Chain A
Amino acid sequence: MAVTIPSDAAPPPGRTSLAFPARRPGLTLAAAAGVLVVGTTLLVLLLDRKAPGILTGAVVEALAHPATAPLILKAGVLGWLAEGWGLGEPWLGLASISLSLFTIVAVFMGLFALTSIVERKVLARIQNRYGPNRAGLWGLLQPVADGIKMLTKEDIVPAGGDRWMHLLAPVMLAVPAFLVLALLPYGPGMTVVELGVGILFFFALGASAEVAVFMAGWSSNNKYSLLGAMRAIAQMISYEMPLLLAALAVVMLAGTLSPTLMVEAQAGHAFGFVPQWFVFTPWGLVGFVLFFIAALAESNRSPFDLPEGESELVAGHMTEYSGFRYAVFFLAEYIGLFGICGFAVALFLGGWHAPLPVLDFIPGYLWFFLKLYGLVLLAIWIRGTMPRVRIDQLLAFSWLFLIPTGFCVLAGAALWHFTGGGWLGWLVVTPVVTAPYFLLLPRLQSAEANALRTYRFSEE
Chain B
Amino acid sequence: MNLTRAAPWPAGTAPFADPGETELLELSLGPQHPSTHGVFRMNALLDGETVVRLQPVFGYLHRNHEQLAERMSYLASMPFTDRLDYFCSLTNNWAYALTVEKLAGLEVPERAEYLRVILAELTRLQNHTVFLGFLLGDMGAWGSVLMYGFRQRDAVLDLFEALTGSRMMCDYLRFGGCRCDLPPGWAAAARLVVDSYPGFLDEMEQLLTENEILRARTMGIGGVEAKRLVNAGVSGPLLRAAGLSHDLRKVDRYGIYDRFSFRIPLGEKGDVYDRLMIRLLEMRESLNILDSALRDLPEGPVINPQAKLRNFRPPAGEAYGRIESPKGELGFYLISDQSPQPYRYRVRPPSLINLTLLEEMCVGAKIADVMVILGSIDIVLGEVDR
List residues of chain A with CB under 8 Å of any chain B CB: 123, 126-129, 223-224, 227, 231, 302-303, 305-306, 309-314, 383-393, 445-446, 448-449, 453-460
Contacts and interface: CB of A to CB of B under 8 A. Distances in A.
B368 A390 contact: yes
Interface string B22-48: 000101010001110000000000000
A445 B217 CA distance: 11
B140 interface: yes
B296 interface: no
How big is the B interface, by class? 35 or more
Interface of B: 25, 27, 29, 33-35, 49, 136-144, 146-148, 151, 207, 211-217, 219-220, 245, 247, 250, 263-268, 273-274, 277-278, 281, 366-371
Nearest to A126: B144
Contact of A302 (B142, B146, B148, B266): B142
Nearest to B134: A311
22 contacts: A127-B148, A128-B151, A223-B25, A309-B140, A311-B34, A311-B137, A312-B371, A314-B33, A314-B34, A386-B141, A388-B140, A388-B217, A389-B213, A390-B217, A391-B366, A393-B217, A446-B219, A449-B220, A455-B268, A455-B274, A456-B266, A458-B264
Nearest to B158: A1
A453 B35 contact: no
A306 B139 CA distance: 11
Nearest to B207: A385
A357 B212 CA distance: 40
Contacts of A126: 144
B215 A449 contact: yes
Contacts, number: 126
Contacts of A227: 25, 27, 49, 367
A311 B147 contact: no
A93 B156 CA distance: 69
Dominant secondary structure of chain A at its interface with chain B = loop
A388 B139 CA distance: 6
Contacts of A458: 245, 247, 250, 263-264, 266
B368 A457 contact: no
B366 A303 contact: no
B137 to A, nearest CB: 7
Nearest to A311: B35
A392 B217 CA distance: 11
A391 B49 contact: yes
B215 A311 contact: no
B151 A303 contact: no
A443 to B, nearest CB: 13
Contacts of A390: 216-217, 366, 368-369
